[in-house]
Structure 1
Amino acid sequence: MAKYRNALPQAQGGLFLSDGGMETALIFLQGQDLPQFASFVLLEDEKGRAELVKYYEHFLPIARKRGVGFVLDTATWRASLDWGQLIGFDACRLKAVNIAAVELIAALRDLWETRATPIVLNGAIGPRGDGYKAGAMEITEAQDYHAFQVNILAGTQADMVSATTMNTVNEAVGIARAAKSAGMPCVVSFTVEMDGRLVDGTTLRAAIESTEEATSTSPAYYMVNCAHPIHFEQALERDEDWVKRIHGVRANASAKSHAELDESDTLDIGDMADLSRRYSGLMRAFPSMRILGGCCGTDHKHIAAICEACMPGGA
């Protein structure tokens, strides 16, 4: 059974880490071939699962050493029907890899969790389309589409699901509603362009407030991911209620635009020291932001530096 589904520890306070840019790390640092950026393909054989364990075990010792919590994501960001079909996975095969993804991280929790380091199992759900291009789904269509993956994850040990790299309100709302129907805590994580707005021009404030209204505030909290802090810092306002609902950041290492990153065939690790200072500054300015991880271009070295900067007495 799910250990923390009824009371997510990261929602109660304290510092939590998560991993970095899973797909970019697996491709550029571990030499894995991920068709359509789909890390779930590694779950079907022993060698692939070993690569995922290797990836995760770069991060988990950081949390244990510093005595902080960890939100551990499944390798399922692309494990939905349309993406699966593109690479030859039917519904039955997708169900199997979603279940296997949770089983893998549940085994890691058994190995790495301590009283000081609670580990929350998070079912990662990505956008139906390209995370850098606006989708066109209505809310009910998004709910129906993502219910397939949400319902599978609800039947596992996963403590929660996250709608990650969301670039439209409708899709975020659809996933949140599907999660509520399945009895799963849900986090919504938006991505923004260099102007701090979603790709369709919606402000981050409007995106969160609209999602709150359309879901009767059902998301456990919100995050921002797949953007460098310089792209969204200016969009935040101190002491605003909507900002207080943002509990986490998973930033890109690079300050490049989404379009530039999309066209790049090399890994841009950015300025790690500057990124860490920016995380620390965000935590000081916005104390609700205490779940810290990375996205494209980040690896365990980035997360270790961010953790050091954000611990009491850090930068």
Structure 2
Amino acid sequence: MRIDAKYRQSLPHLGGGLYLTDGGIETSLIFQDGLDLPYFAAFHLLRDAPGRAALVRYYERYIEIAKSDGMGFILESPTWRASADWGAKLGYSAADIAAVNRHSIQLMDDLREAYETMRTPMIVSGCVGPRGDGYDAGQVMSAADAEAYHAHQIAAFAEAGADMVSAITMTNANEAIGVAHAAAKAGMPASVSFTVETDGRLPTGQTLAEAIGEVDAATSKGPAYYMINCAHPTHFDNVLQSKDAWTRRIGGIRANASRCSHQELNDSPALDSGNPIELGGQYRDLVQRHPGINVLGGCCGTDERHVAAISLACRLVSRKAA
């Protein structure tokens, strides 16, 4: 049964205002909550009541920040790994994966039903992760193959009533194009978030400007906006020094807490939480230069402390501008 989405036809955050989202869900659940996430698959927690309760507690921490600070909130589903190849590694069939994606959106909708207010509208987003590793482009698919692969998950989001699709840690333009096409065919607005290395380039070596330009050209500017995630602001701040037209397509940031490279993070046995206050200031500087950036959250190593600091720093900028 297809469920009607609340905001799919008119996403409120596209009209401005600051919207928070969560931090590094996988690193938080593993290192802070002590949970086992094989293959970083947060969706695997939905298989039982204790796992579901852990996810609810995780999201409630961020919802409280948004409500306290009077900001909107994007409920990003725990489905970064809930696609066919990753699901198969955990014994999920194609039907199982479709079901877990629908259940994830239902969980987000339940949270919205419980906590949304006029002051804090909540958008339900279906999170799509890369077919391969989020740090390494690996063997790059064609755009057509990427569309075919991701269409299964996106169809489940559409059926369950998600407002939008967010493609997170995209490492190459082809996969982003495929996701954008699959979302458009499902009637879903989409955002595309690229991960970059310490030099501000995608793992393929392509610049952020080139990747956004390629995706926009191939999809007639299909994505509603772009984001940057899984990199520290010092890795991409220099790329955003200009105010070229492509930078106005960036609408959100989900940065890492750590200044380390992806390889260094992979090799580290401990979590680097960085400095939440410093990170908040770096977000503030980005928002001051690029006021179109209004979706603010975190990625690896970040938790509610970081998002609270980001909210405080950027909220004050917003009030000052007003």
Provide the TM-score with structure 1 as the length reference. 0.98
> Aligned partners of 1:184 and 1:44: how far apart in 2?
27
Q: Which residue is 1:234 aligned to?
A: 238
Q: Which residue is 1:5 aligned to?
A: 8
Superposition pairs of residues 163-312 of structure 1, within 5 angstroms: 163-312=167-316
> Aligned partners of 2:268 and 2:189: how far apart in 1?
35
Q: Which residue is 2:151 aligned to?
A: 147
Q: Which residue is 2:89 aligned to?
A: 86
Is 85-94 or 192-201 further displaced after alignment? Answer: 85-94
> Aligned partners of 1:262 and 1:148: how far apart in 2?
29
Shift of 1:303: 0.3
Aligned pair 1:41/2:44, yes or no? yes
Shift of 1:157: 1.8
> Aligned partners of 2:14 and 2:242: how far apart in 1?
20
* Count of residue pairs brought into register by the alignment: 315
Checking the alignment, whether the CA contact within 8 Å between 1:138 and 1:170 is kept in structure 2 is: yes
Alignment-mate amino acid for residue 187 of structure 2:
G
> Aligned partners of 2:113 and 2:249: how far apart in 1?
30
Structure 2 unaligned residues grouped into runs of 5+: none
Shift of 1:93: 1.1
Shift of 1:79: 0.2
Shift of 1:112: 1.0
Checking the alignment, whether the CA contact within 8 Å between 2:99 and 2:156 is kept in structure 1 is: no
> Aligned partners of 2:264 and 2:273: how far apart in 1?
14
- CA shift digits 1:65-89 (9 cap, x unpaired): 1111001110100000000011111
Aligned pair 1:62/2:83, yes or no? no
- CA shift digits 1:87-135 (9 cap, x unpaired): 1111111111101101111010011111010100000000000011114
Q: Which residue is 1:134 aligned to?
A: 137
Provide the TM-score with structure 2 as the length reference. 0.96
Q: Which residue is 2:24 aligned to?
A: 21
Alignment-mate amino acid for residue 134 of structure 1:
A
Identity of aligned residues (%): 52
Q: What is the RMSD computed on CA atoms of the aligned residues?
A: 1.1
- CA shift digits 1:226-258 (9 cap, x unpaired): 000000011114331110010100000001000
User: What secondary structure sits across from 2:237 in the alignment?
Assistant: helix
> Aligned partners of 1:239 and 1:278: how far apart in 2?
17
Shift of 1:200: 1.0
> Aligned partners of 2:168 and 2:219: how far apart in 1?
17
> Aligned partners of 2:316 and 2:278: how far apart in 1?
18
Q: Which residue is 2:112 aligned to?
A: 109
